[in-house]
Amino acid sequence: MRKDSAIYVAGHRGLVGSAIVRNLNAQGYTNLLLRTRAELDLMDQAAVASFFHENMPKFVILAAARVGGILANSTYPADFIRENLLIQNNVIDLAYRVGVSRLLFLGSSCIYPKLAPQPMKENALLTGSLEPTNRPYALAKIAGIEMCWSYNRQFGTRFLAAMPTNMYGPNDNFDLQSSHVLPALIRKVVEAKFLGQGTVVVWGSGNPLREFLYSDDLAEACTFLLNLSDAKFDELLGETDPPLINIGVGEDVSIRELAQIVCEVLGFEGTLEFDTSKPDGAPRKLMDVSRINALGWKAHTSLREGILLSYESARRAGVFS
Ligand SMILES: NC(=O)c1ccc[n+]([C@@H]2O[C@H](COP(=O)([O-])OP(=O)(O)OC[C@H]3O[C@@H](n4cnc5c(N)ncnc54)[C@H](OP(=O)(O)O)[C@@H]3O)[C@@H](O)[C@H]2O)c1
């Protein structure tokens, strides 16, 4: 990417999109195209077409999506499949129609089968049954990968799907009704500390193993991928396999360990209680990140450091007041 290339970051106010914008700004990219959902509803095909034809982006990072944790996914399954399919269909198709040079489609590790061999390699895609609680979301994302691959084969586009593991960081969603596990734990611990409560209740058994990537590390990986040489980028697109690359840390922790780390970092000395009536989800979800590591990129923010940065940014934004 040249420093003045027109780069469209879809979803630039979200956890992922805002980190990507911070990274691009810090690296001196000067021509970012940014629209809120109120300015451009990506489910509106005509509006997306006008936007692309008027602005002619050269690079697209698709970080706009309907996203949420187990509760949101199981309460609104129809919204999750419909909104994600519409957003990605419109953006991927218009990117092809205006001749975008490279597109990065962001998915998630839930595209892999519930019982995929660990760590999960890119070739685990479609080798088994999905975790039922977020199947509609996962299927939409799988359709997005297939769409990138199909457009690459039929039209010669360079569309790559990047699958990040669980993420956290500034601008995360701390609403307990729809948040992911780590921001939910941060909020619960902050509130318990403030209210002087002795116990924090954690959903599930605490046994599942999960991996957590700090959003600024992911953003760095996205810029790194979009800046690969044509030869290396095309190698990732391949022909016989989907154009897919995992982005993660390569290490996981149990939810119990994670909750303990949150308590330590935020200085909460009470106890943890595990509500086993709540679902656990998949037993383990660890990404195999050997592909991106071999290209020369590695995550570097530690969990403790990231949790503190994430908490401080939410506190400054008034999330806990
Ligand atoms: N969070 C994670 O742990 C995680 C993990 C792996 C992968 N990912 C992937 O990363 C991507 C972004 O996730 P995120 O966590 O950053 O989500 P997020 O914080 O909820 O942000 C989503 C963004 O999408 C935008 N958006 C949603 N619907 C839209 C629509 N109809 N039209 C235009 N914009 C719309 C929102 O815009 P407004 O702000 O204007 O409303 C928001 O900026 C997703 O594809 C997700 O699958 C996330």
3-state secondary structure 273-311: EEECCCCCCCCEECECCHHHHHHCCCCCCCHHHHHHHHH
Q: 53-109, pLDDT tens digit by residue?
A: 999 999 999 999 998 877 888 899 999 999 999 999 999 999 999 999 999 999 999
For residues 25 and 219, give the distance between their C-alpha atoms in angstroms, rounded to a whole number: 11
Measured in Å, residue 173 CA sits from the centre of ligand 1 at 10
Residue 122 DSSP class: G
- Token pair belonging to 217: 């590390």
> Residue 298: which residues within 8 A CB-CB, separation 6 or more?
289
Atom of ligand 1 nearest to the CA of 17: 16
Measured in Å, residue 260 CA sits from the centre of ligand 1 at 28
Class of domain 7-172+211-251+285-301: alpha beta
Task: Give the residue ranges of DSSP H helices in 98-180.
Answer: 135-155
Neighbour-count burial for 223-238, b at 16+ CB within 10 Å, e otherwise: bebbebeeeebeebbe
Beta bridge partners of 41: none
pTM over 0.85: yes
Residue 236 half-sphere exposure toward CB, CA atoms < 13 A: 27
- Token pair belonging to 242: 């989907």
Q: Residue of the nearest CA to atom 12 in ligand 1?
A: 63
Measured in Å, residue 246 CA sits from the centre of ligand 1 at 18
Q: Residue of the nearest CA to atom 2 in ligand 1?
A: 167
CA angle 175, 209, 241 (to 5 degrees): 95
For residues 246 and 111, give the distance between their C-alpha atoms in angstroms, rounded to a whole number: 11
- Say if residues 94 and 48 touch (Cβ distance below 8 Å): yes
The pLDDT value recorded for residue 301 is 97
The pLDDT value recorded for residue 219 is 98
Atom of ligand 1 nearest to the CA of 64: 24
The pLDDT value recorded for residue 71 is 80
The pLDDT value recorded for residue 91 is 98
Atom of ligand 1 nearest to the CA of 172: 19
Measured in Å, residue 66 CA sits from the centre of ligand 1 at 6
- Catalytic residues, by residue number, are 137
**Tens of pLDDT, residue by residue, the chain (321 residues):** 999 999 999 999 999 999 999 999 999 999 999 999 999 999 999 999 999 999 999 999 999 999 887 788 889 999 999 999 999 999 999 999 999 999 999 999 999 998 999 999 999 999 999 988 889 999 999 999 999 999 999 999 999 999 999 999 998 989 887 788 899 999 999 999 999 999 999 999 999 999 999 999 999 999 999 999 999 999 999 888 999 999 999 999 999 999 999 999 999 999 999 999 988 877 888 999 999 999 999 999 999 999 999 999 999 999 887
User: Ligand 1 pocket: which residues have CB below 6 Å?
Assistant: 11, 13-17, 36-37, 41-43, 63-67, 87, 106-108, 164, 166-167, 173, 180
For residues 210 and 17, give the distance between their C-alpha atoms in angstroms, rounded to a whole number: 22
The pLDDT value recorded for residue 171 is 87
The pLDDT value recorded for residue 225 is 98
